[in-house]
Chain A
Amino acid sequence: MARPEWRALPTLKMIKPVINFFCSLRLTVALLGLALILVFIGTLAQVKLGLYAAQEEYFRSLFVFWQPNGASWKIPIFPGGWLLGGLLLVNLISAHIKRFNISKKKIGIFLIHGGLIFLLLGQFFTEVFQVESNIRFEEGETRNYSEDTSRTEVVFVDASDPENDKVVAVPEALLARGGEIPLPGLPFSIRVKDYFPNSQAAGPMSEGGKKINATTPTGEKIWFSQMPMVAAMDSRNVPAVLVEIVSDKSPAVERIASLWLNGPQRIEMDGRSFQMSLRSTRYYTPYTLTLLDFRHDLYQGTSKPKNFSSKVHLSDPKHGEDREVLIRMNEPLRHAGLTYFQASFDPNNDKVTILQVVRNPAALTPYISCTLIGLGLLVQFLSHLVGFGRREKKKATIPVSAPVRKPVARRTEEKEVA
């Protein structure tokens, strides 16, 4: 199939410089160089910002911004990960369209570039859709949910049914926006009066930042003060939110929900009872895991960990699975689109395990990409090898009387090169 003669079209001719820019190999080199610098400064930034904030600012962004202390404005100073990745993808695809003919000889190159494109797209989908959470449970305990400790939610639970709890969960992103939030299926809604992404339990006379207070159902006045957000890996923001619970039939009441509070608070509205609490965001699964045994082996005579393993019982009636699984380091459990890794343990309780739960719809893309690239390299090298072999064979069959290239011609070539 013949390529379109874009040079002949006037419209395309006008955008020739743009096309040349995006097809340029120099752009590829520049983008790879910038990516190297971005990885370097983004890694250094983790010291100050912590892993998650640095990832957001440097890699999950179009630009890296600089904001002077106390200023309300900020300016972009460096391309972010998404911009560099996106440009690399455009550069790769457009260069491919412009330069490469679809031919048998180029099939290896096509496979290599196809693998690279798939890798870039796969990483983009991983960034957007991957969700990480944890399960922490003790031997004998069963879980049908994992918790995302980087996110929180305020939940209202109707526990009147003897078998099931009806849960209405409001994510923190909605709480941060404020305003009135209707709660489907409940006889009341909430008005967010104040939301602190990080807080500290306080007293009425505490100094420091802005404070919220409310009375608990047991008549205690509780206070929380706003704290600056933290980003270090070993710290955690502890949100607190003051909400007004409003209903047509009952007087409005103010309540505070916070991770600082141990248990849920009872809410009485319209003659019904509910439980309210702020907790880490939960992701429920239609199957359960029960921890049967947790082992934490050390190298003999040392306190160095040798092996962690969790024996769990998987019960999934929907898929007819009812089996025991041993989850070890580098040997995760993969089930129903989720991967359960042995992540950590409780240093104060040797019967407690912590599993990391990862949902990544694009988890297979690196494997497919690497296979395509490997296959492409193999095809490319083999085709060169076969071609080389053929040429050598051909040389060997040339008669001795064949004319030899004249020295004059070689000198001319050298002159041209010089």
Chain B
Amino acid sequence: MISGTLFLFGCGKDEVKVYSVPKEKASAPQMAGAHPEALASQDSPPVHWTTPPGWKELAPTSIRVGNLLVTKGDKKAEVSIIPLPGNVGTELENVNRWRGEVGLGEIPEGEISRQAVPVGVEAGRLYDLSGSVTQTVVAILERPDATWFFKMRGDKEVVTEAKPAFVEFLKSIKFHDDDHAEPARQTSTAPVPVSPTVAEAPPANDAPGEVPAGWKETPPPAMVLKSFSVGGAANETKITVTRFPGDVGGLLANVNRWRGQLSLERIQAADLAKLAVPIDGLDEKATLVDIKSADGKTRMIVATIPRDGQTWFYKMMGDEATVAREKAALIKFVQSARYPNE
């Protein structure tokens, strides 16, 4: 049955080994078929979407969790969904790189054109970069686990025509943690690779505050301690509790990151005092930031609580009316929080 198989346990650790093994059955995690690139699809993807009519689904690749093709005659455009953990560069660097891809020159930060776009139930930023022959439309969504890039790039004629469908495609995005599905299962014997940042994620059993009535607890995504949702499908608002070591870049950097998520301009340190207000009953380091998107539809409130060399974030983001209604409940939730060592 296993002719030619060598018994290789533990010998010659630092040498190149050559051996022959029987082919694995299809249930095996790797090397199962003639099209290895298609193997990435064996794990259920971390996102779902509705494919617009006429778009062709391609097999996911090692880096693309979503891979689609739009064609019109002999012209085409590729649509990709790529999550990247960690720092992915500044907005200006990314925009100028995309501009370079379509043959446009670099621009200063003040000339960046962006607009808010719904990505599922969350708010992303959309960039449209049109060259003479090719065009790229990119949506960025910053999530706790990674920065997600939704990109359509190809012949200008195809991209321009498919842009409305692309926006609808973005609205149809649904993450696994949205629908309470089990996380994608690692099929390899090896444990799920854990990045150092994830390794520092806090334990998931901390429950800092008294949960307000109407908030529904949801499975927390990676690096989130607790997550809740409030409101219906049309006006769903999410609340997350996270904790990180240190000051996580400082309040100004975080406020500008949150403003970026709502496609708002960055602010300077002088403006921070007006935006970050203290929270009643907590020490002077605890601050509340309340910001709204330019179109007034999306609102975000974040309470930042530095404590014992760590920073706790209580973030509520979603439909403006729902956030306005739940603001008092969020503040009460934050005020009722009890921390380790208290």
Contacts and interface: CB of A to CB of B under 8 A. Distances in A.
Interface of A: 129, 131, 134-138, 140-142, 144-147, 149, 151, 157, 159, 162-171, 173-174, 181-185, 198, 200-208, 216-218, 220, 222, 225, 227-228, 230, 232, 234-236, 238, 259-266, 275, 277, 279-280, 283-288, 315, 317, 337-338, 346, 348-349, 354, 359
A203 B196 contact: no
B199 A230 contact: yes
Contacts of B37: 216-218, 263, 265-266
Contact of B13 (A163, A171, A286, A338): A171
B16 A184 contact: yes
Nearest to B19: A167
Given A131-B9, A230-B199, A317 B1 contact: yes
A414 B89 CA distance: 88
Interface string B23-44: 1010110110010111110110
A169 B324 CA distance: 59
Query: Which 6 A/B pairs are nearest by Cβ-Cβ distance?
Result: A205-B89, A263-B39, A235-B199, A131-B10, A205-B93, A136-B189
A236 B197 CA distance: 11
Contact of B27 (A141, A168, A266): A141
Interface of B: 1-10, 13-23, 25, 27-28, 30-31, 34, 36-40, 42-43, 61-64, 84-90, 93-94, 97, 182-183, 185, 188-191, 193-199
B188 A279 contact: yes
Nearest to B95: A205
B33 to A, nearest CB: 9
Contacts of B190: 136, 147, 149, 259, 279-280
B193 A205 contact: no
Given A134-B189, A200-B86, A205 B1 contact: no
A218 B36 CA distance: 11
Nearest to A337: B9
B88 A144 contact: no
Contacts of A285: 7, 9
A263 B36 contact: yes
B10 A359 contact: yes
Most A C-beta atoms less than 10 A away, residue of B39, B43, B189: B189
A222 B80 CA distance: 13
A165 B63 contact: no
B299 to A, nearest CB: 29
A202 B84 contact: yes
A200 B85 contact: yes
Nearest to B83: A201
B8 A203 contact: no
B4 A164 contact: yes
23 contacts: A131-B10, A142-B25, A169-B19, A185-B18, A201-B63, A203-B84, A208-B86, A208-B87, A220-B62, A222-B63, A261-B62, A263-B37, A264-B30, A266-B36, A266-B37, A279-B190, A280-B189, A280-B190, A283-B9, A284-B5, A284-B8, A284-B9, A338-B9
Nearest to A146: B189
A131 B10 CA distance: 6
B62 A222 contact: yes
Contact of B9 (A203, A275, A359): A359
A145 B30 CA distance: 13
B16 A230 contact: no
A118 B339 CA distance: 53
A354 B1 CA distance: 25
Contacts of B86: 200-202, 206, 208, 225
Nearest to A264: B36
Contacts of B197: 200
Contacts of B195: 200, 227, 238
B60 to A, nearest CB: 8
Contact of B62 (A171, A234, A262, A275): A262
A129 B11 CA distance: 9
A236 B195 CA distance: 7
Nearest to A236: B194
A173 B44 CA distance: 33
A348 to B, nearest CB: 6
B18 A184 contact: yes
